[in-house]
Structure 1
């Protein structure tokens, strides 16, 4: 009888994108159950990935009453199922899942840290989030920061002791499928037609951003830098692939209007398959304020795109300055504009970065290798924490 492994994220989107393929792989070695909110989408994920599911209503906001209900629902489920391992991702799923697992006596409780939203917070809210983070790690038997930089922040903030932390491999929560993100799948005719369909000039240098179009992803600075560069370079376009989130972290009105009115800024909304958009771009720009270990930077690299990223954990581990991209300060649209200009004007430099980009990702972040590393870690932790 295989041991039971329960994986929890706040919403199914995290299972679909951040952990793509991983639960199906683990299902060969464990009886895997996926837990998240959004019942219908979760059940579809279960059918598509051939894993069991259990629905729990969770929110990404601070909602104490709803959170307590979620803890109690999970507690009852854990007492009934008696899993050997509960592994959580995302802050809300972390505190809810780890507390319920501890209460239910689950022997092996693992939490992956893929980013710290609290780093952009101040005042009372910051104190509350600090407490929740520290409490989550205390409840866990092991914590996996998904980058070296995150591990350093956790230690610096005093959230956990070093012996409780471990970064798997070179970082990431799931690695990258380099056979899926492969530029050779897209030929010149396909890319020409895709540009044409979007209305992008064939000769334009296309900067691409993929992710949520919110302030903390650096979109205000990106749009400002692009519009400044436009005054000197006409043959450039900016392609924004992702959804607006006006409730949680809206863009400045000036930025939103620029996106809406600038003929050279293109938006696509959320896209399940981002590869065709990478294939028509010349460089990734990812000026985020904070990350864990960003998939999009790995995906872009696998698609042979050089990247401009901010000097934050994760980004500054995937990108090596002058090898596969460049690193800039956070919230600095002036430096961002200069690096974008460098990419447009120095084609030899940009092509050299692009040549190295895929090689770096294949060498360090292949997805199936990450799965094997995680499976080995599960087995080692079983020996340490589970009764034979």
Structure 2
């Protein structure tokens, strides 16, 4: 495959479930416009069609289960091998754990020359016992089958090395991190967004005197929702005008405590909306954003809050330490130390000047480092470099695979 053939190369980006295609919003369209032959791959589902229309790329489909299922996983692997044998891509980039495992293994079996495992987070961090061992082995298998591993943050890279999942030489972080970056313009506070916010505040009973703690994400134990609600209830006794705004769906897996759910549904000062496909306007209702997640990969929601001008407070865990500059764009707290969380949230609630300073500094920092353009450009350069190196690969079989799979016939 010569240098002139690089742009025509076929790339397949795979995730497990259709909803995860949103993690690549705009990315595949960008790569297609750059001249690559790009396709997405996921399990069947209605959202896949929406993504196809939005990105103007073909969607390949194979059934994949999110949870561990040896029989179904074996079937998924078999179908993935058939599909890749037919498609003959030059690059397979698989993200999310199950797609990472199935597709990197299938790509290796088929001889795909560039096999990338994109690690957006490590679910095993909050598991133990047999399940942790199974998840760890799955991560190691996916990383071993890959020729390259993309970590979405430096802290994820460090975890991959510390857990002996992948060798350091194999791991890459694109730019400052993030797997997709952010459309900066959609976070701007326009006259339209101001009017919407005022109407929504009236609708949900927020006065100008109210201070609003906010959270956007899955309503699960892993995300620290139990702790967040507990802290709010305590702070509410000190700050009478305090409200809590929660955006996200409850989930049966890793569900919050029943007492927590009861408080959310019945507390007069807690406002809960289900999942919102466009959550940005809701950030504009918040004064302080709080994330007490036990683990992240790269915390998109913290950058979204920062771009929206809402200073965040988060537990210092994998993925959050890359998305807050402690004391400059927000506060990091000791993981599991709820008194530290409460103290720093209280400090921001009581100090509007500090909130404004963090908001201004954070927005500048996030815009400079995490735009879509910065991340997509880094990915394009990475693909160019890896494709060019194929022709320098001394192994004859590898070079044969590059020619065999490099371009659509």
- Structure 1 length as normaliser, TM-score? 0.96
**Cα distance in structure 2, aligned partners of 1:81 and 1:263:** 55
Which residue of 2 is the match for residue 146 of structure 1? Answer: 152
User: How many angstroms does 1:186 deviate by?
Assistant: 4.8
1:168: which partner in 2? 174
Question: Between Structure 1 and Structure 2, how many residues are aligned?
Answer: 386
Q: Which residue number corresponds to residue 337 of structure 1?
A: 342
> How far has the Cα of 1:185 moved from its partner?
5.5
- Residue segments in structure 2 that go unaligned for 5+ positions in a row: 392-398, 404-409
Question: Secondary structure of 1:43's match?
Answer: helix
The CA RMSD measured in Å over matched residues stands at 1.4
Q: CA contact under 8 A between 2:287 and 2:349: conserved in structure 1?
A: no
- Alignment partner of 2:322: what SS? helix
Q: 1:350, CA displacement in angstroms?
A: 1.6
Counterparts of 1:101-116 in structure 2, within 5 Å, are 101-116=107-122
Instruction: Find the aligned partners of 1:79 and 1:51 in 2 and give their Cα distance.
Output: 20
- Alignment partners' CA distance in 1, 2:342 and 2:200: 26
- Superposition map of 1:218-233 within 5 A: 218-233=224-239
Taking a change above 3 Å as real, the CA distance of residues 7 and 188 of structure 1, as seen in their structure-2 partners, is: closer
The Cα shift of 1:334 comes to 2.3
Alignment of 1:77 with 2:83, yes or no, is yes
Partner SS state of residue 186, structure 2:
coil
Q: Which moved more, 1:336-345 or 1:86-95?
A: 336-345
Q: 2:316 aligns with which of 301, 311, 314?
A: 311
Offset, 1:377: 0.2
Are residue 263 (structure 1) and residue 282 (structure 2) matched?
A: no
Measure, in 2, the Cα distance between the counterparts of 1:113 and 1:187: 34
Deviation at 1:184, TM superposition (A): 3.5
| Change in CA separation of 1:186 and 1:352 when aligned onto 2, cut-off 3 Å | farther
SS in structure 2 of the partner of residue 144 of structure 1: strand
Structure 1 stretches (4+) deviating beyond 3 angstroms?
Answer: 184-189
- SS at the partner of 1:231? helix
Q: Taking structure 2 as the reference length, what is the TM-score of the superposition?
A: 0.92
User: C-alpha offsets along residues 235-293 of structure 1, whole Å, 9 cap, x if unaligned?
Assistant: 111111111112x1100111111101111111110101111101111121111110000
Q: Does 1:195 align with 2:201?
A: yes
Q: CA deviation at 1:200?
A: 2.5
Shift of 1:38: 2.9
Q: SS of the residue aligned with 2:98?
A: helix
- Counterpart of 1:4 (choices 10, 21, 25) is 10
Please name the residue that 1:353 is paired with. 358
**How big is the shift at 1:63?**
1.0
Answer yes or no: is the 8 Å Cα contact 1:147–1:170 preserved in 2.
Answer: yes
Distance in 1 between residues matched to 2:357 and 2:93, nearest whole Å:
40
Kindly indicate whether residue 216 of structure 2 is the aligned counterpart of residue 210 of structure 1: yes
Q: 1:76 to 1:259 in 2, by over 3 A?
A: same
